[in-house]
Every structure is written in structure tokens, then in C-alpha cells.
Amino acid sequence: MKKVTSILSTIVCLIILTTACGDKKLKDYKETKSGLKYKFETENPKAQQAQIGDVLIAEMKITFNDSVLFDNLGEPTRLFMVKESDFEGDLYEGLRMMHVGDAATFAISADSIAKMGAQMPPFYKAGNSEIVFYYIKVQGIVTAAELDKERQEQEALLEIAKNSEQDSINAYIQRNNIKQKPTESGLYYIETLKGTGSKIDIGKTITINYTGKLLNGTVFDSSLEEGREPLEFVLEEGRMIKGFTEGLLKMREKGKATLIIPSNLAYGIGNPQSPIPPYATLIFDIEVLNVK
């Protein structure tokens, strides 16, 4: 659902990019009672029709005069969640007219968009009958019921990941014969080389090499990768994930350590676009190069 919302937000931003269009360009268009101008290239009235709450898997091309503002033709994706109209003659009315396999162009009034409070570009001038054209081809429809089922399945998977995390940590600890006990917070701090220099503290500038990986060994980030350099930063509360900061505060210059960080001290449920899975325990191998 987040992905759909994100794409929809992008489309809303594109709506405000407009173009003047004379009657000649709209001569082949039909018009609904609300004033929406449209032209169907392909119609499949017997196919599944979009309903409120559905998501359209579609291709779209948005044009402004001869300029293309958006184009994913040939690469259909979940573009829209169908909803009630925000104003008469808006794009949502057009979407509700569409069936799987339909291809149509809709002409939307920029003035109507502006009246909804959208931020308009500097070249937009109210009252000039400026419009934007959307060519949309519907390849499929994900119904509201299907979306709800997806959501429930995703929530179930997240619950499984959350509930199984400690078992995964315990298995890793046993498999690697780790004897250290976790701190009160749940962090495992394993010193592999005792530091001989200055102690790390909040407000100090530190330089480190690090490698971050998952319990299965998958590396998701490392300063040792080709083209990378050691990371230098001022240690501040809240700058890093909690477990990383807690581990660093136990270290000294020239020291090395491995941190095993449960998800509640890391990224928790995470982000769908992140390479780190939900409720993932993280392992960091850290070498402190400098403290000042």
C-alpha cells in the first residue's frame, strides 16, 4: 500500500504541470455530465471495471504540449488507487470508467487542480484553460478485497518475523559458540581486540571501518568495499541506531569488536525499500581507527 501511495503522490505532483489546449485538440473528445473530457482508444465494457478502493495496474503517459512528463509505457505497474472524485471532472472519475484492457486519454483542468489548493508551477496562469493529458492503458485490477488479503498476509509474515527473531539469535549464538551475555538492552558486545587509545564518548570525532551483515552472513553495508573510505563522524545521541551507539561507547581507539544488535535496537519493522528485512538482527564488525 505504501508503494501505491508513493506513486500516487508523484502523479498528483505531475497533475499540476499543465498546458494550454484549444478546442481543436479536444474536438474528438467526449464529455461527461461533470465536464470530464475523454477519448477511448480501446474499450472492453464486458471486462472487469475499476471500483473505489481498487488499484489499477497500468501504463501511463502524461504530456504537456509536446513534452512528456511521465511515461511507463511497456512497463505496467500499480499506478493508482481508485477513489471518490476530489472535484468534478477529475482523473478519478476517468479511472472509474475504465475496464481491464481499456486505453483512454483524459484531459484534466489545471484550474480545478489549483482550486484544490495544489501548489502550481510559476508558469501556470489561472483562467487560461490550461490542461494536462493522461493516456492510460489498464492491464489489470487489484481489487480492494485482494489488497486487504495482501495486507493481512503481510502482517502475518511480519508477526512471524518478529516472534522468531530471538530464536534466530539464540541459534546464531550457539552455532558460533559465543559465551558473552547480552547487556541489559539486549546488545551482544564481543571485543575481538582491546583498544589502547582514547575512549569513545559522545561529542568526540571518531573514524571507523565497519561491515554490517545479517545473521545469514549477507553483507548490506561496508566501509571496506572497493572505492569506500573509513567513516568519520561526530558521535551524537540519536545519530546512529541505538545498538551501534551503545557498542561504540564501549570501545577505544585501535580496538575491534563485533556487535550483535537485535531489531529493537536497530531498524525494527524496517522499510520496504531497504535491503534490511523487517525485525532483522544486525551484526557489525567494527575497527576504531581514530578518536579525537
**Looking at the structure, do residues 206 and 130 belong to the same domain, yes or no?**
no
- Does 161 map to a domain? no
Are the CB atoms for 261 and 215 separated by under 8 Å?
no
- Does 254 map to a domain? yes
- Domain residue limits at 210: 167-291
Residues classed as catalytic: 210, 220-221, 241, 267, 284
Average pLDDT over residues 250-268: 96
Average of per-residue pLDDT values in the chain: 88
pLDDT at residue 23, as a whole number:
56
**Looking at the structure, do residues 171 and 137 belong to the same domain, yes or no?**
no
Number of domains in the chain: 2
Are the CB atoms for 142 and 54 separated by under 8 Å?
yes
Q: Which of 161-175, 185-199, 235-249, 265-279 has the lowest mean pLDDT?
A: 265-279
The answer to whether the Cα torsion of 126, 129, 132, 134 is positive or negative is positive
10 pLDDT above the threshold of 70: no
Q: Which of 111, 127, 143 is the last residue of a domain?
A: 143
**Looking at the structure, do residues 215 and 270 belong to the same domain, yes or no?**
yes
pTM attached to this predicted model: 0.64
pLDDT at residue 65, as a whole number:
65
**Looking at the structure, do residues 181 and 68 belong to the same domain, yes or no?**
no
Would you list the DSSP string of 269-290?
T--TTSSSPTT--EEEEEEEEE
Helix (H) or strand (E) holding 205: strand 205-214
**Looking at the structure, do residues 206 and 137 belong to the same domain, yes or no?**
no
pLDDT digits (tens, 9 = 90+) for 13-72: 444 433 334 456 788 899 999 989 999 999 999 999 999 999 999 999 987 666 777 899
Domain CATH number, residue 246: 3.10.50.40
273 pLDDT above the threshold of 50: yes
pLDDT digits (tens, 9 = 90+) for 110-151: 777 678 776 666 666 777 777 788 999 999 999 999 999 999
Average pLDDT over residues 92-96: 96
**Looking at the structure, do residues 115 and 205 belong to the same domain, yes or no?**
no
**Looking at the structure, do residues 192 and 259 belong to the same domain, yes or no?**
yes
- Does 153 map to a domain? no
pLDDT digits (tens, 9 = 90+) for 214-228: 999 999 999 999 999
Please give the Cα distance from 247 to 183 (Å, whole number).
10
- Does 148 map to a domain? no
CA-based radius of gyration for the chain: 27
